[in-house]
Structure 1
Amino acid sequence: MKSLFTYLLLLSFAFGYAQKNFHGKAVYKSKTSFDMNQWGNRQLSEQQKKRIMERMKNMLEKTYTLHFNRTSSLYEEEEKLEAPGGGRGSFRFGGFSSGVQYKNTQDKKFLEEREFFGKKFLIEDPSEMPKWEMSGEQKQIGNYLCYKATMMKKTDEFDWQNMRRRGRGRNRDKDNKKPDSTKVRKVTEDIEMPKEILVTAWYTPQIPVSNGPGEYWGLPGLILEINSGKTTILCTEVTLNPKEKKEIEPLKKGDKVTRKEYNATVKKKMEEMREMWRGRRRGRS
């Protein structure tokens, strides 16, 4: 009896240790669609459009790595060398690209490091449980059986991936003249974005962590695919308990701000740049 008790105790300890030390690594590919004709570029030749799309490739196609354990994760973009000829004239959105993101799903804590015009910020967001609607729909992603879940997500005012020219899309009234202001957010005189977008997630209970790429979490399994507006994020590789374990600690670098404060800083800088650009145009005329 004593030996059985000792065996069960050791088994319980080993199981608890394995649970505590469980960790993994997932690689995601992100791709955002972009319709040049929507932005009034129909007069450009196909060759010109192709050159512009090549310059935008680094912005529209990205690779990320998610390091995770039972309760927390780090999500970071893979650094890329500039493509040949992609220096001058290549498209850069320094204020809009994601930095390293930290999530703790147990404490509901979300931190993100960003750099904007040479200044480092640490954005801290309250992370509420996402309101997913579960579905019985299934599909296979690699070696994993995945289940579908959906939710409506509010867009950020600088979510460039879902921006579009004003007056386009399905948000018009019955006379097909004015956009429905209850469904869209005005960004500039020419640009708008929907206030909400449909997000579809595919998660696998075979990896029992309530985590996923970027801001997405809250499902009974690792999220392997996200379809959000014009962007698809797909997991291409999963490694459980890799030999090289990455320490997952809360981020600390940068001036601590809320998302609202960070967006206000970016907006102010953009307005300053717009006024500077207008001043130069008036000077030339």
Structure 2
Amino acid sequence: MKTNSKRLAVLIFLFMFSMTFAQKNFQGKAYYQTKTALDMSRFGGRQMSEDQKKRIATRMKSMFENVYVLTFNQIESIYKQEEKLDAPGTGSGRWRSMMSSFTVGNLYKNVKEQTLLQDHEFFGKQFLIKDSLPQLKWVMENETKQIGKYTCFKATAIKTNTEFDFNRFRRPPDREGNKEKDSANTQTQSIKKETPDLIEVVVWYTPQIPVNQGPGEYWGLPGLILEVNEGRTTILCSKIILNPEEKDDIKKPSKGKEVSKEVYNAIVKKKTEEMRENFRRGDGRPGGRRR
């Protein structure tokens, strides 16, 4: 009964405010905060102390705590990261230098045309990813929760994880360890490369804002997605502005060599594997010499 009552209340709310979203010049802004929990347990091998791991985790943490703004209407959206100042102690170092080689630009989605555009800079080269919107098979749940003043419904999906994995840069298991153990680890890594990583995505969307949009590549639900939980990453909406006085142009990214997401991921994978080998040969230092 409680679930039915909540659904009825949401339907009444949607009816009352349907004219707002039916306006031709309707626009909204949603602010999202992202956080990623880092797994440092396998990072660096035995050559790195726990204190060193903690210091690196602290520096890397700031890279994954960002604020994004999603500007949307009924058909289009643009997802932009807000600029921020680097925290003291995070402006230099190998890991900061490595991460600065990956610059992710604005992400444009058009739900009517089912298209996605995003510009990336990767080791000095500009790419324009042009692809169709990902088609996740959402399972809509009855569970609800409140995010701010909005009633949100839960939805889940399984997706193939193609995101960058920092564990690719960790050192070999143990140069002085058991060779059989190293061989077993190598076989396990080989199996993982052949099997795509599947990951569960849990989102919370609100029918009170009936637009088919969400942060990042997420979309496809009867309401704005306010929260995403994907693996160790959480994206949470902190503020929403509907019909702001000053409206922004939702411009398509246009710079860079046009590639599909699959092709771009293949380029990134090849380059990161090369870097991993350089780290291994150089004892963890780019361009370093063997001992």
Give the TM-score, by structure 2 length.
0.76
Structure 1 or 2: more helix by fraction? 2
Give secondary structure in 1 for the equivalent of 2:271: helix
Aligned to 1:125: 131
Aligned to 1:244: 246
Whether the aligned pair in 2 keeps the contact of 1:72 and 1:248 (CA below 8 Å) is yes
Task: Give 5+ residue unaligned stretches, structure 2.
Answer: 1-18, 174-184
Aligned to 1:202: 204
Q: Count how many residue pairs are aligned between Structure 1 and Structure 2.
A: 254
Whether the aligned pair in 2 keeps the contact of 1:151 and 1:200 (CA below 8 Å) is yes
Give distance in 2, aligned partners of 1:252 and 1:19.
Answer: 28
Whether the aligned pair in 2 keeps the contact of 1:153 and 1:198 (CA below 8 Å) is yes
Give secondary structure in 1 for the equivalent of 2:41: helix
Q: 1:185 aligns with which of 193, 200, 204?
A: 193
Aligned to 2:164: 159
Instruction: Give 1:199 deviation, angstroms.
Output: 0.2
Q: 2:36 aligns with which of 24, 32, 38?
A: 32
Instruction: Give 1:47 deviation, angstroms.
Output: 4.9
Aligned to 1:115: 121
Distance of aligned partners of 1:164 and 1:88 in 2 relative to their CA distance in 1, 3 Å threshold: closer
Does structure 1 residue 57 correspond to structure 2 residue 65? no
Give the TM-score, by structure 1 length.
0.77
Instruction: Give 1:61 deviation, angstroms.
Output: 1.2
Whether the aligned pair in 2 keeps the contact of 1:162 and 1:230 (CA below 8 Å) is no
Aligned CA RMSD, in angstroms, stands at: 3.2
Q: 1:96-145: CA deviations, max 9, x gaps?
A: 55321000011100011111112211001111432100001000000000
Instruction: Give 1:179 deviation, angstroms.
Output: 5.2
Give distance in 1, aligned partners of 2:28 and 2:188.
Answer: 45
Identical amino acids, percent of aligned pairs = 52
Q: 1:156-215: CA deviations, max 9, x gaps?
A: 1x4327979899xxxxxxxxx985987x436xxxxxx96110000100000010100000
Distance of aligned partners of 1:161 and 1:272 in 2 relative to their CA distance in 1, 3 Å threshold: closer
Instruction: Give 1:266 deviation, angstroms.
Output: 2.5
1:1-285 map, 5 Å: 19-39=23-43, 47-89=51-93, 91=96, 92-94=98-100, 96-156=102-162, 158-160=163-165, 184-185=192-193, 195-274=197-276, 278=281, 280-281=287-288, 284-285=290-291
Distance of aligned partners of 1:36 and 1:23 in 2 relative to their CA distance in 1, 3 Å threshold: same
Task: Give 5+ residue unaligned stretches, structure 1.
Answer: 1-14, 168-176, 187-192
The residue identity in structure 1 corresponding to 2:193 is: R
